[in-house]
Chain A
Amino acid sequence: MGSRASTLLLSHSQITRLYSRFTSLDKGENGTLSREDFQRIPELAINPLGDRIINAFFSEGEDQVNFRGFMRTLAHFRPIEDNEKSKDQNGPEPLNSRSNKLHFAFRLYDLDKDDKISRDELLQVLRMMVGVNISDEQLGSIADRTIQEADQDGDSAISFAEFVKVLEKVDVEQKMSIRFLH
């Protein structure tokens, strides 16, 4: 566990902290979390993206996530420290780099894993995020506009590179970092 944790770049206290959270969520006390354990968190029920966030913890086809998987997903949200930026570029990129953070977000959009956000997938996410007052045509035109702004290779879908480009002015490192993991 020690060596693996170092690739996730979490300190000892952070791991202990996450472990106590893991055990408090694990009501069945079998060392793994199922989807129901996540759904027990009340704030997630009213988060528009709740389902997708929960899915992000589970790998393909799996129903349970162990502590390592839990940590691994959360490690994406560790803030980027200044001293890491100048680190050795040859090693594997840490999970909480800007690129990996964006990749995590991209995967939440892209359900069929074809490395593109199609209009449909965008519509689904939009529908989850807006209220009932928006009609489908309006939603459709918003989605069209979004794709049109981002699309550079003309395939009516947003690829990962285009996604990164749209967010280049946004401070993703700050927006996708949990403060406590500092």
Chain B
Amino acid sequence: MGRQSPGCLVGPLLALFLQAASAGDLSGSQVLEEDALPENTSWDAEEGQGNESLEHAFFSVDYQHVQVPFEITLWIMLASLAKIGFHLYNKLPSVVPESCLLVFVGLIMGGIIYGLNDKSPPVMDSDIFFLYLLPPIVLDAGYFMPSRPFFENIGTILLYAVVGTIWNVFGIGFSLYGICQVKSFQLQDVSLLHNLLFGSLIAAVDPVAVLAVFEEIHVNEKLHILVFGESLLNDAVTVVLYKLFRSFCEMPAIKTMDVLAGVGKFFVVGIGGILVGLAFGMISAFTTRFTKTIRVIEPLFVFLYSYLSYLTAEMFHLSGIVAIIACAMGMKRYVEANISLKSHTTIKYFMKMWSSVSDTLIFIFLGVSTIGENHEWNWPYIFFTVIFCLIWRALGVLVLTFFVNRFHVNTVTGKDQFIIAYGGLRGAICFSLVFLLPDFHRKKLFIAATTVVILFTVFVQGMTIRPLVDLLDVKKKRESAPTVGEQIHIRFLDHLLAGIEDISGHWGQYYWKDKLEYFNSKYLQKFLLREYDQPKSSIVLLYEKLERKHAIELAEAGQLGHTPSPLSLLNSHRSVTTDGKPEDILNPDVLENIQEILARNLFRIRRTVPAYNRHTLPGETEPAEQAKEILILRHRSLRMELSENDTVGSSKEKDDSCSAQEDSSPKPKLCRSLTVRNAERTREPKHNRSKSVCVISALQPGGAAWANKKEAEKELTPDI
């Protein structure tokens, strides 16, 4: 660790100096151009002289030629090196979230550039942000969004996104106007409309910042999806309100018709965005139907169509974010069925890569743009802005949750509410919007206030949210540590409850889901899928791989139905029957050992861990690994049971054919047809295994199978 830390600093420092040099060139480029002319003429003049001009010809620097791509690449390089640097030093990301560190690097960069040039550093152009940096992040979020929890909680999410944002906007706008009335603050000239305009851009919760911070704290799936979904969908509201108030600022008089038009505009923006997104999604799915012979460019279609949907929506002043999310979620299913596995992996990796780069660049630019002369520091205004943002968000969450809890059955607990309220981080979207404001005399004040709010939320709220969450958890801990038995039984009950909840289904979702599935299977699939047979997902492929492996094992062992490895349960059972286990009192440190083992190894309940993770692919996250493990275990135990029954001696031949079948749900159910036939013997088998369709049903006569096993083993033991 000691050796690594200087190394981790060298990388960013090197990049910093490269940057400073290039920035020096940037500002001095004009000077260079002027110098170039005399150089050129002098070169022409010297041409005749011979030797000196030859030296010039061998080594010349032409920076302008490559300037733009060179600098872009250097910025991206800086961002990536900074990321490596942070992760090399392990302790840091747990205390300070990555976004803070990146902003900090940006601040340093901005400071260096300012110091070198005495001029303001390049401000992040709003166009660059909205057209190039934001789409990859939102695409990544939309593509990997776990759709089941999203749609289950869609009502709550929409409520928070739409009503919550409107509440925040008007609350902040009006209260800031109230502050402006106070004479001593010298803010009289900031009108109500200006304040509302400011409120509309500062109220929106930013998906980039939220995502960055929420990864560090491990919240349960539902909470994660609530805040995440809200931050994505409030874009529609923000866009409408921002444009509305801006146009109001320019209009001499405001009539009620205009206000109503604004409300109508909101629906147009939202629904229009969804329609544009879905249209492009369907076209994309249709296109991938024909790419069988040119697999190499398949990933390109996904990105092109998503980006097109974003740009088209922006062109019509609809919500680009909603469009790109709708596009990604709509096309995902069909595209994944049509494209090859390698294209699929490529898409996933590229998306993660681009969104990661974008994310890092945004935060660095945020830091860089902060330094400079763009600000007017009116401290009371800024101070009250921060206060009001916090207060109105907390109030909004409280009131809305009250309503949600009355109508919904999955209650949002107090702790959840705190996290939602406190996790309402503002980020780069606010920043870009404030730069897009029309130039009026108080613009710098708004810029300053926005900067402070963003820095406050990212740094203070980002860093303190984890300790506060832990603090809230600690209060609910028990006084004494649970005994081993309690731990096991509690986990048992948790799994049981999760299973029962899944069986009993969730509140009213299935009606629409079934309808959609019906529509899908009848019409959409025929149109959009290349092969109409059922697609295979990774779990199914894993199963098939296991099948092949087992078949090979069997072939090697030479005999069907002979398990090479001893069955652990059989062993333990034998040990109980053969020797009486001595009652030994286990030591306390053995107990601690056990507690530790259990804590590490007990399977987690499905609901507590979110499936979406910024930095890893879906197949590699912990819950997915756990799911695979559970399936492997069940597969193994099924095999053991089947092969045991073979060694029992009754003549049964088992015939396994694995046909994996995917139904309406994203994760496939595994079905194997298991037929048990009698071989040549005419003797009737002990129990008739009915033809059952699914894996688990082989374990079906739960108690009966075990009872039979015991009988079988008792027959075996005298033989041995």
- Chain A positions near chain B (C-beta within 8 angstroms): 17-18, 20-21, 24-25, 35-36, 38-55, 57, 61, 63, 74, 77, 105, 108-109, 111-113, 119-120, 123-134, 136, 138, 140-142, 144-146, 148-150, 156, 163, 166-167, 169-170, 172, 175-182
What is the bound-complex CA distance between A116 and B492, given in angstroms? 17
CA distance A142 to B706 in the complex (A): 22
Residues of A within 8 A of B58 (CB): none
From known contacts A46-B630, A74-B504, infer whether A169 and B484 are also in contact, taking CB-CB under 8 Å: no
A166 touches B485 (CB 8 A): yes
SS class, residues of chain A in contact with chain B: helix
User: A163's closest neighbor in chain B, by CB?
Assistant: B489
Q: Are B572 and A35 in contact (CB under 8 A)?
A: no
Rounded to whole angstroms, the CA-CA distance of A112 and B701 in the bound complex is 11
Which of A55, A127, A142 is the most central at the interface, judged by chain B CB atoms within 10 Å of its CB?
A142
> Would you list which residues of chain B between 267 and 304 have a CB under 8 Å from chain A?
none
User: CB within 8 Å of A: which residues of B?
Assistant: 409-411, 483-486, 488-508, 510-511, 514, 568-569, 571-573, 576, 581, 583, 585-586, 590-591, 594, 597-598, 600-603, 606, 626-627, 629-634, 637, 663, 665-671, 690, 692-697, 699-703, 706-707
| A105:B668 contact, CB within 8 angstroms | no
Residue contact A144 to B504, C-beta cutoff 8 Å: no
Instruction: Taking A46-B627, A105-B493, A170-B486 as given, write out 9 further A-B residue pairs in contact, using a Cβ cutoff of 8 Å, ordered by the A residue number.
Output: A21-B505, A25-B503, A35-B694, A39-B696, A45-B670, A134-B601, A176-B496, A180-B501, A182-B409
| A44 with B503: CB separation less than 8 A | yes
Task: Specify which chain A residues have a CB less than 8 angstroms from the CB of B497 in the assembled complex.
Answer: 77, 175-178
Establish whether residues B483 and A149, one from each chain, have CB atoms under 8 Å apart when the complex forms. yes
Q: Are A53 and B500 in contact (CB under 8 A)?
A: yes
Q: Are A48 and B669 in contact (CB under 8 A)?
A: no
Residue of B nearest to A39 (CB): B694
Q: CA separation between A149 and B416, bound complex, in Å? A: 36
* A43 engages B606 (CB within 8 Å): yes
- Residue from the list A17, A42, A133, A145 in contact with B667, Cβ < 8 A: A42
Find the B residue at minimum CB distance from A149: B485
Majority-rule SS of B interface residues: helix
Contact of A111 among B494, B503, B670, B702 (CB under 8 A): B702
B699 partner, pick from A25, A51, A178, beta carbons under 8 A:
A51
B489: A residues at CB distance < 8 A? 105, 163, 166-167, 170
With CB as the reference atom, state the residue of chain A lying closest to B600. Answer: A133
Chain B residue contacts of A141, Cβ below 8 A? 586, 590, 594
A131 in complex: contacting residue of B483, B591, B629, B692, CB < 8 Å: B629
Which among A45, A52, A125, A169 is the interface contact of B669 at CB below 8 angstroms?
A45
A-B contact pairs, 20 of them (CB 8 A): A24-B510, A25-B505, A35-B692, A35-B696, A36-B697, A38-B503, A43-B498, A43-B667, A47-B498, A50-B696, A52-B702, A63-B690, A74-B504, A130-B603, A131-B626, A138-B597, A146-B488, A149-B483, A176-B493, A180-B501
Which of B492, B586, B598 contacts A49, CB < 8 Å?
Answer: B492
The 5 closest A-B pairs by CB, nearest first: A46-B627, A42-B667, A53-B499, A43-B502, A180-B409
CB distance from A172 to the nearest CB of B (A): 7
The CA-CA distance from A119 to B590 in the complex, in Å, is 19
Q: Which residues of A contact B483 (CB under 8 A)?
A: 149, 166
Q: Known contacts A21-B510, A44-B503, A141-B586; is A172 also within 8 Å of B493 by CB? A: yes
Q: How far is the CB of A132 from chain B (nearest CB, A)?
A: 6
State A125–B598 Cα separation when bound (angstroms).
13
The reply to whether A146 and B484 form a contact with Cβ atoms under 8 Å apart is: yes
Given contacts A43-B502, A111-B703, A146-B484, contact A123 B630 (CB under 8 A): no
- Alpha-carbon distance between A31 and B489 when the two chains are bound, in angstroms: 35
Most buried by B among A47, A144, A150, A170: A47
Among candidates A20, A53, A136, residue contacting B503 with C-beta atoms closer than 8 Å: A53
**CA of A39 to CA of B663 in the docked complex: distance in angstroms?**
11
**A146 partner residues in chain B, CB cutoff 8 A:** 484-485, 488
Tell me, rounded to whole Å, the shortest Cβ–Cβ distance linking B664 to chain A: 9
> Once the chains are docked, how many angstroms separate the CA of A46 from the CA of B671?
14
Q: How far is B511's CA from A35's CA once the two chains are assembled, in angstroms?
A: 22
- Interface pair B667/A144, CB less than 8 Å apart: no
Q: Is the CB of B696 within 8 A of A54?
A: yes
**Are A167 and B495 in contact, CB atoms less than 8 angstroms apart?**
no
B586: A residues at CB distance < 8 A:
141, 144-145, 148
* B134 → A minimal CB distance (Å): 33
* Beta-carbon contact of A179 and B670 below 8 Å: no
Report the bound CA distance from A136 to B566 in whole Å.
12
A36 to B499, CA, bound (A): 15
Known: A35-B694, A129-B602, A166-B486. A145 touches B594 (CB 8 A): yes
Closest to B710 in A: A112
Q: Bound state CA distance, A141 and B411, in angstroms?
A: 40
Contact A112 B703 (CB under 8 A): yes
A residues in contact with B597, CB < 8 Å: 134, 138, 142
Collect the chain A residues with CB atoms within 8 Å of residue B694's CB: 35-36, 39
Chain A residues in 8 Å Cβ range of B410: 179-180
By beta carbon, the residue of chain B nearest A108 is B496
Closest-by-CB residue of B relative to A123 is B572
A51 to chain B, nearest CB (A): 5
B668 contacts across to A, CB distance below 8 A: 42
- Across the interface, B409 reaches (CB within 8 A) one of A47, A105, A133, A179, namely A179
Report whether A120 and B631 are in contact in the complex, using a CB–CB cutoff of 8 Å.
no
Set of chain B residues within 8 Å of A111, measured between Cβ atoms: 702-703, 706
A53 to B492, CA, bound (A): 11
CB-CB under 8 A from A63, the residues of chain B are 690
Determine whether the beta carbon of B665 is less than 8 Å from that of A132. no
Bound together, the chains give a CA A176 to CA B598 distance in angstroms of 22
Residues of A within 8 A of B627 (CB): 46
The reply to whether B501 and A178 form a contact with Cβ atoms under 8 Å apart is yes
